[in-house]
């Protein structure tokens, strides 16, 4: 499979952190052009510095990290300290970063990177609210043809919402941005809660990371031990759902996942169902499919890949 030129847009967040580490350990499949950060799980000042903390943990101070939007396009920022802790990376116990934050705004980095390449070259991987991506499309629509694929973590189709009864956090945080991105007509792959709620970090899987006996394994163990608590209590799961790494794993080995090409739309008007991702699974409206929505994965294969790749980071 040809190596993909990837921009990860994220709001670290423990699961974002694992996703970044997976990408950094997968140089055969992913040429990580840069990491753009957005307010989401915690405010931007933390998501941005957390991204740099994770790059330093992986000894990758060469990675360019950019700060982006500090709030959604139209709505008030809603953060998720109740899941991720005040720092956004509770359990990691990482020092303040020393590698520099890039001066350029994340939106301008996305635009400049895309304008510099041929059509259908860039893969964008949003694993937080899609505010930066939407702003980039609105500021410079000429970048849209440059993007080969968008692989995002977000949404909930058959699953109930995790932030409101109807909506998943990333889409609920900025539904207007998600709709701008979806409506751009780019090859769109969505990893909703329907699949990420099957990627559970059970005790056995967590022990495999601890048994890596490496700084990365130890930090992942600490982060996920913290991250697991909320969802295991709330949903009665046998582990926390590893949302964001599903999007990166798809870039590495899409055969780990299954789903369906459907027509997808996003609620941006009703407050009751704001951010609901509506997939026409049975094509009742006979509308052109515009998204590949994943709803299942080879969970042992996923954790085998994750553990093997994280084991490469010394
Ligand atoms: O709903 C899960 C998503 O919201 C994940 O991306 C998590 O990091 C939070 O951003
Ligand atoms: Ca995230």
Sheet holding 188-191, edge to edge: 65-67, 30-37, 4-10, 122-126, 147-153, 188-191, 291-297, 257-266, 277-280
At the topology level, CATH places domain 4-310 in: Inosine-uridine Nucleoside N-ribohydrolase; Chain A (3.90.245)
Q: Which of 84, 197, 243, 263 is catalytic?
A: 243
Query: From ligand 1's centre to the CA of 153, what distance in Å?
Result: 7
Mean pLDDT score of the chain = 97
Q: Which of 244, 245, 276 to mutate to test the pocket of ligand 1 (most atoms within 8 A of CB)?
A: 244
- Is the pLDDT score of 23 beyond 80? yes
pLDDT-derived band at 62, boundaries 50, 70, 90: very high
Cβ within 8 Å of residue 283, ≥6 positions away: 262, 263, 289
Q: What is residue 247's predicted lDDT score, i.e. its pLDDT?
A: 98
Distance separating alpha carbons of residues 147 and 134, to the nearest angstrom: 13
Q: Which atom of ligand 1 is nearest to the CA of 14?
A: 8
| Element at 61 (helix H, strand E) | none
Indicate if ligand 1 lies below 6 Å from the C-beta of 231: no
In the 8-state DSSP scheme, what is residue 163?
Answer: S
Ligand closest to the CA atom of residue 161 = 1
Here the tokens at position 301 are: 């294969």
Mean pLDDT of 27-56: 98
What residue's CA is closest to ligand 1, atom 10? 128
- pLDDT for 294-304, tens place per residue? 999 999 999 99
Q: What is residue 185's predicted lDDT score, i.e. its pLDDT?
A: 98
- pLDDT for 204-221, tens place per residue? 999 999 999 999 999 999
Q: What is residue 202's predicted lDDT score, i.e. its pLDDT?
A: 97
Ligand closest to the CA atom of residue 168 = 1
Q: Which atom of ligand 1 is nearest to the CA of 163?
A: 1
Q: What is the three-class DSSP state of 260?
A: strand
Q: What is residue 57's predicted lDDT score, i.e. its pLDDT?
A: 98
Q: What is residue 314's predicted lDDT score, i.e. its pLDDT?
A: 85
Q: What is residue 13's predicted lDDT score, i.e. its pLDDT?
A: 96
- Is the pLDDT score of 1 beyond 90? no
Say whether 84 is catalytic. no
- pLDDT for 100-123, tens place per residue? 999 999 999 999 999 999 999 999
pTM value is: 0.98
Query: From ligand 2's centre to the CA of 284, what distance in Å?
Result: 32
Cβ within 8 Å of residue 219, ≥6 positions away: 57, 92, 93, 94
Residue 1, Cβ density class (10 Å: 0-12 exposed, 13-18 middle, ≥19 buried): exposed
Domain ranges within the chain, ordered by starting residue? 4-310
Indicate if ligand 1 lies below 6 Å from the C-beta of 244: yes
Indicate if ligand 1 lies below 6 Å from the C-beta of 153: yes
- pLDDT > 70 in the chain, percent: 100
- Is the pLDDT score of 190 beyond 90? yes
User: Quick one: how far is CA 78 from the chain centroid?
Assistant: 17
Mean pLDDT of 58-79: 98
């Amino acid at each position: 499979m040809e190596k993909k030129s990837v921009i990860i847009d994220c709001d670290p967040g423990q699961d974002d952190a694992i996703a970044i580490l997976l990408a950094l350990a997968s140089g055969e499949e992913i040429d990580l052009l840069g990491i753009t950060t957005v307010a989401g799980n915690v405010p931007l000042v933390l998501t941005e510095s957390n991204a740099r903390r994770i790059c330093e943990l992986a000894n990758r101070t060469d990675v360019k990290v950019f700060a982006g939007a500090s709030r959604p396009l139209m709505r008030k920022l809603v953060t998720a300290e109740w899941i991720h802790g005040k720092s956004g990376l509770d359990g990691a116990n990482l020092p303040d970063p020393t590698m520099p934050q890039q001066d350029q705004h994340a939106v301008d980095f996305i635009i400049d990177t895309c304008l510099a390449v041929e059509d259908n070259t860039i893969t964008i991987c949003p694993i937080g609210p899609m505010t930066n991506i939407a702003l980039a499309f609105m500021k410079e629509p000429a970048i849209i043809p440059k993007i080969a694929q968008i692989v995002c973590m977000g949404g909930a189709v058959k699953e109930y919402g995790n932030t409101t009864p109807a909506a998943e956090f990333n889409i609920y945080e900025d539904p207007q941005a998600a709709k701008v991105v979806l409506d751009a007509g780019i090859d769109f792959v969505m990893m909703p809660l329907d699949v990420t709620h099957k990627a559970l970090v059970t005790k056995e899987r967590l022990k495999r990371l601890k048994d890596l006996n490496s700084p990365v394994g130890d930090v992942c163990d600490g982060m996920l031990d913290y991250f697991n608590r909320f969802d295991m209590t709330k949903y009665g799961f046998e582990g926390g759902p590893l949302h964001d790494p599903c999007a990166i794993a798809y870039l590495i080995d899409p055969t780990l996942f299954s789903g369906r090409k459907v027509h997808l739309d996003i609620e941006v008007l009703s407050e009751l169902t704001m951010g609901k991702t509506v997939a026409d699974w049975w094509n009742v409206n006979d509308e052109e499919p515009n998204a590949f929505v994943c709803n299942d994965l080879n969970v042992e294969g996923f954790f085998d890949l994750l553990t093997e790749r994280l084991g490469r980071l010394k």
